[in-house]
Amino acid sequence: MGKRKDLSEFDKGQIVMARRLGQSISKTAALVGCSQSAVVSIYQKWSKEGTVVNW
């Protein structure tokens, strides 16, 4: 397994905006430089909670 890096708030915002604009999961992952599962996870958290900020 590769090392996981925490995404910045900016990266998380890019994920949310790209997905809201209709960008695919794979293209969003390539844009931000993260895994597709991270894109899905971040977008689901935003959809459910309305935020992606880590408390």
Q: Domain extents for the chain?
A: 9-50
Q: What is the pLDDT of residue 1?
A: 45
pTM: 0.84
All residue ranges of the chain with pLDDT < 70 are: 1-4, 54-55
pLDDT at 2: 53
Q: What is the pLDDT, as a whole number, of residue 39? A: 96
Spell out the SS3 assignment of the chain.
CCCCCCCCHHHHHHHHHHHHCCCCHHHHHHHHCCCHHHHHHHHHHHHHHCCCCCC
| pLDDT recorded at residue 3 | 55
